[in-house]
Structure 1
């Protein structure tokens, strides 16, 4: 938390080009891991206008910071401003860059930290979307252990896993080879274990149905989740 506090202090006095340069220099990229503490600090302090500006950047880490900050914007605003931020997150969920998509999940989790009911409303709406990347964002956003201490959110996480798995089964073999569907499948490969661990009384039975599926991708999802330590403890 100390570094995050230091970052907040450092970026509070920066504007426009100076802020973007600061973010670029400390992004951690290229490298295996982006500087998410810095991204969190950005979301803590920037206003809505700055969040939108950063989210429009061509620089991947700067864009990541802006997109994750839109979660904070949605959490603190209401009315049209909130709807605009959520709609922008919906658009960013379909980005081809995985770090931008991960920023959408982080943004949803920030919403859930402040307003669990809003998170549930957003995830519920996104479940009706046909785009597998939007489904992937809903999964990754809601299947976060700290958010699933709330029983209603934990129940939604199980519903989200189940509905996304059902959707996976309905894709044609050709569609399943697309990067978009594969990204959703990868997310299902760990989200079931998170959701079941939060509510094993209801989750184990629902997860157990995957084991009897003849669908090869569902069997893969089942196998990957069984390998997770949190699931192994339950099974």
Structure 2
């Protein structure tokens, strides 16, 4: 048995189905909800408890039940929302160890959460996908490649938010994939190939406004080439995305000459 798991504060609670009610109350009590910041530490610790092949069927069914909670059952900023928020991240931890049928369920729940009306659940989707990608980047890439041609704005936002995760970007191939997928999304925006609702596009734009800089920092030659491509457009949406990334300290301080060159292109 994984010695790390035995030290997890949620381990004992997850061993006995009879204690799940107590666990539910404990998590809700530690949620920090209602409030501006959920207890990310508690959510992460709970998710870490599933990073093993020891997960019993009762514990798995608990995750399925919690991730299935609708907005009516677990409203935004309510302590009950913390349950699916934690459970989805736990599914991400468990993905590597799960049997294929359970892996498919995990991906289905992540896809659903990408489109959830609750912003905190959309964040949970990105965080769960990051946990999957740290273990198996190929699985993440396969998922995104299968979705990207028909992905909506919220799904596209989930792609870039999940990929903007430094532990996954240690491999250059992963960085180049993140840039490639980002460029495809930007191309679709520029070409008007996808219909974006105002709120959905706002969410996507916010994601692109920071994620691109994370990728560019790790592959500056290819990354600044991509930014230069979209810097010369008259599309104000694109200009905002490029300008925001150029203003991030990770680029402005380390690559000041490249940043200035792109800014000149934008002002030409």
Q: How many residues align?
A: 231
Give the CA deviation at 1:26.
0.8
TM-score by length of 2: 0.79
Aligned counterpart in structure 1 of residue 236 of structure 2, from 197, 216, 227:
216
Taking the TM superposition and a 5 Å limit, the aligned residue runs for 1:7-46 are 8-10=8-10, 12-13=12-13, 15-46=19-50
Is the radius of gyration larger for structure 1 or structure 2?
2
Give the CA deviation at 1:66.
1.1
Instruction: Note if contact 1:126-1:135 (Cα within 8 Å) is conserved in structure 2.
Output: no
2:209 paired with 1:181: no
Give the CA deviation at 1:114.
0.9
Instruction: Note if contact 2:67-2:109 (Cα within 8 Å) is conserved in structure 1.
Output: no
Deviations 1:83-140 (A, max 9, x none): 2211221111100111100000000110111112112212222322332111111111
Listed as ranges, the gaps of 5+ residues in structure 2 are 75-79, 260-268
Deviates more, 1:160-169 or 1:209-218: 160-169
Taking the aligned partners of 1:7 and 1:164, their CA distance within structure 2 comes to 42
SS in 1 for 2:32: coil
Instruction: Note if contact 1:11-1:19 (Cα within 8 Å) is conserved in structure 2.
Output: no
Taking the aligned partners of 1:64 and 1:181, their CA distance within structure 2 comes to 23
Taking the aligned partners of 2:201 and 2:99, their CA distance within structure 1 comes to 33
Listed as ranges, the gaps of 5+ residues in structure 1 are none
TM-score by length of 1: 0.89
Instruction: Note if contact 2:133-2:140 (Cα within 8 Å) is conserved in structure 1.
Output: yes
Taking the TM superposition and a 5 Å limit, the aligned residue runs for 1:47-196 are 47=55, 48-57=60-69, 58=74, 59-171=80-192, 176-196=196-216
Taking the aligned partners of 2:6 and 2:214, their CA distance within structure 1 comes to 32
SS in 1 for 2:9: helix
Cα RMSD for the two superposed structures: 2.3
Taking the aligned partners of 1:127 and 1:157, their CA distance within structure 2 comes to 12
Number of the residue aligned with 1:198: 218
Deviations 1:58-90 (A, max 9, x none): 221111111111212322224222122112211
